[in-house]
Chain A
């Protein structure tokens, strides 16, 4: 009893192909077996019937042979012809041969007993016919007559017996025919039943097997779709069998498991990272804040202006006009720088800031730098980002004019040109090569040495970017130089004041 569940488990765990092959091979074998069995049994029935029919045929032949013996004997006795004698011997031979295959033993089969009787009587009959023929040859009239009469009597008995046997056999044949018909009918029913059973069984098995295959697969597909949508909270698929479907389901379950794990890991990591970043940012911003507060506390502009104004008044009281002017300019410069850094200003203010700057610088450079201004058009209503021109002039001085031996000139020109206003600052310094111009326009910061220390200036990059953002146009800045020693000209191209005028 324990064997059955074991076998069943084994079957369940077989690979699909083996399962299918096993099941179908099994049914095929069964049908084959039934077919073979049918063949064998039909053969045996046919054989039996053949035998009976053959016996009937042989009985008729026996009767013919007996008639032959009787006729030829009679012919010979009647005519004494040689041919009749020959015929007699031939038929006697044939009859004896046929008689010899008949049963000669007592048995409980009536047909066989009849055979035995036929054989016994035939033996005597043949003896009598031979004796009659011999007597005829010996011209013993009395004897051949009596022998003939006896033989004739036995011939009658033999005829009766053989006919009876034939009848009995015929009866048996009729019965066997019925039997044959019946068995054929049984066989038909039987094979039909088996066939139907096989078909039905196969269908049931197929249905069951396919459902064990397709059901988990369909479920698997549905769940895979769900997983594809990002839902990992799907049910585990349970497949009992250890076949391919079972393996697939297991693999799927494992995959979902590991996917779940991975996703949760990634989530944790991301949360940690964002927390870290936040801290860092907070730290940075507080640092900057403290720096700003520090700087602000250091450079209090009002304190600076007031100090510088106080210095100017002091210089005025002492009668040092130049100093007074210098300190006043310095104060203006700082005020403007602080006030307009990052704010919109006017072109006029920008130009005056440049002049202030140049004044301060000229004090440093002992008035070496000659400044010339050519302004056309109204410049006091044109809006421009604050602190634009001053850095350009500063650059021109620092890079272009610093080390030249000739007389240093800065020329500022504004010129209306169609739909735009061009502001050009030209210096007659050492000029620039094309690669240098490109580099500046690309926004690479230039390292310059200022008072022995590397200084990273505000740079033109900042200026260019602010102009581009402010006007929303790319083409706002131009540097031209005719080569080394020929000076540099930097132009800013301001679109015509229609939105950028100061109201």
Chain B
């Protein structure tokens, strides 16, 4: 046996044992790896009891007419975020219910649930006003958001100035009129979510702004208590023919996000783009896209994040120091095809900044 053969043989012998050792090591590694993979898989699927680990001192109820409006959804998200920072949990009453309850009933539930504070967009009804008073009597502070119930004894109001809103819409009608100077028929769509008082202020402000023009301003109040009524009413308005007594409007002024989207959809569906101009409300992605396409001429946006945060701030201020400012103003901004790109950029950066 030559030395070369010896080394080869020795090598093969060692090689065999090496292989078996490697096999064992690989087995161990694969086992450990699969254990980890399994753990990861199980953890990614078992998320049954998410949440419930954090407890808050305050329980705030947010009561709104509708639980599907994208604006209010963003308000709630912002309020929750702000509340979490201030040791308060914000519950959007009715959001978990399959059944849609009237605003008053929701408010009643919140009071009966003995929450620590209530954020509400009152609809101007007396019952709601009475219930707000009841809540305050029971020691539950109430902040009204976006629309006010001034004589209910509420602790504060967070929203825009209705007069300003009317002025803004008036200006936009002026712009819209530039395309059809002779005769203009504008319809203001009021939703049930605004109190009558607020509606009056907005309407008056608009009329004031349009004084001296040949604009015919009509008001259509859509009763939101009846589900889907908004969509039906708007569609009816859009398709109405001149021979049918009332001519289709040249300008549609929508005062909430749902109505804006309904109007936009109806105009597109009935091929009235260009004939009917829409002045919208709110800045959801859908609405902004429509602005970009010039289907919606302009939309008045309220920063939902700002609204949510400000209302929680106001309520928490009252809960902690027993006082808060009576009116917290939220700025309005008009978004048109000209500035929509900038606006988008602005809200994206705002969302990104914590």
Interface residues of A (CB under 8 A from B): 8, 11-12, 23, 26-27, 30, 33-34, 37, 41, 45, 48-49, 52, 105-114, 116-117, 120-121, 123-124, 153-154, 157, 160-161, 164, 167-168, 172, 175-176, 179, 182-183, 186-187, 190, 193-194, 197-198, 201, 204-205, 208-209, 211-212, 235-236, 238-241
Contacts and interface: CB of A to CB of B under 8 A. Distances in A.
B182 interface: no
Nearest to A27: B27
A12 B56 contact: no
B68 interface: no
B23 A52 contact: no
Contacts of B50: 109
Nearest to A205: B20
B41 A48 contact: no
B51 A238 contact: no
Contacts of A116: 59, 113
B58 interface: yes
Nearest to A125: B112
Interface string B321-347: 000000000000000000000000000
A208 B20 contact: yes
Given A106-B88, A110-B96, A164-B98, A120 B48 contact: no
B45 A182 contact: yes
23 contacts: A23-B20, A27-B27, A34-B31, A105-B55, A106-B56, A106-B88, A107-B54, A107-B89, A109-B53, A113-B91, A117-B113, A120-B112, A157-B108, A157-B112, A160-B99, A161-B109, A182-B41, A186-B41, A194-B31, A208-B16, A208-B20, A236-B1, A238-B13
A187 B27 contact: no
B111 to A, nearest CB: 9
A193 B48 CA distance: 27
A37 B89 contact: no
B49 interface: yes
A441 B245 CA distance: 175
Nearest to A115: B52
Nearest to A240: B13
Contacts of A124: 112, 114
A326 to B, nearest CB: 89
A124 B98 CA distance: 24
B183 interface: no
Ranked nearest first, the 8 interchain pairs of A and B with the lowest CB-CB distance are A109-B52, A109-B51, A106-B59, A117-B113, A208-B20, A201-B27, A106-B56, A240-B13
Q: Which of B27, B59, B98 has the most CB of A within 10 A?
A: B27
B20 A107 contact: no
B38 A186 contact: yes
Given A109-B50, A116-B59, A154-B112, A190 B97 contact: no
Contacts of A168: 96
Contact of B17 (A113, A167, A193, A241): A241
B24 interface: yes
A121 B113 CA distance: 5
Interface size class of chain B, counting residues whose CB lies under 8 Å from the partner chain: 35 or more
Interface in B21-70: 21, 23-24, 26-28, 30-31, 34-35, 37-39, 41-42, 45-59
Interface string B166-210: 000000000000000000000000000000000000000000000
A491 to B, nearest CB: 77
Contacts of B112: 120-121, 124, 154, 157
B18 interface: yes
A112 B52 contact: yes
Nearest to B93: A117
Given A12-B17, A157-B109, A108 B34 contact: no
Contacts of A8: 17-18, 21
Interface of B: 1, 6, 9-10, 13-14, 16-21, 23-24, 26-28, 30-31, 34-35, 37-39, 41-42, 45-59, 84, 88-89, 91, 96-99, 101, 108-109, 112-114, 116
Given A193-B30, A238-B13, 13 more contacts: A30-B27, A106-B55, A107-B52, A107-B54, A107-B55, A109-B53, A113-B91, A116-B113, A179-B46, A197-B27, A212-B20, A235-B1, A240-B10
A212 B13 contact: yes
A112 B50 CA distance: 11
Contacts of A241: 13, 17
Contacts of B108: 153, 157
B45 A179 contact: yes
Contact of A11 (B21, B23, B54): B21
A108 B51 contact: yes
Given A107-B51, A109-B51, A109-B52, A198 B27 contact: yes
Contacts of A204: 19-20, 23
Contact of B56 (A108, A153, A161): A108
A160 B16 contact: no
A164 B27 contact: no
B24 to A, nearest CB: 6
A153 B18 CA distance: 79
A101 to B, nearest CB: 15
Nearest to A49: B48
A201 B31 CA distance: 11
Given A106-B59, A205-B20, A37 B13 contact: no
A48 B9 CA distance: 59
A111 B6 contact: no
Contacts of B84: 108
Nearest to B26: A201
B58 A238 contact: no
B46 A26 contact: no
Nearest to A207: B20
Contacts of B114: 120, 123-124
A111 B26 CA distance: 46
Contacts of B10: 238, 240
Which of A52, A108, A164, A241 has the most CB atoms of chain B within a 10 A radius of its CB? A108
Contacts of A175: 48
B119 to A, nearest CB: 15
A59 to B, nearest CB: 14
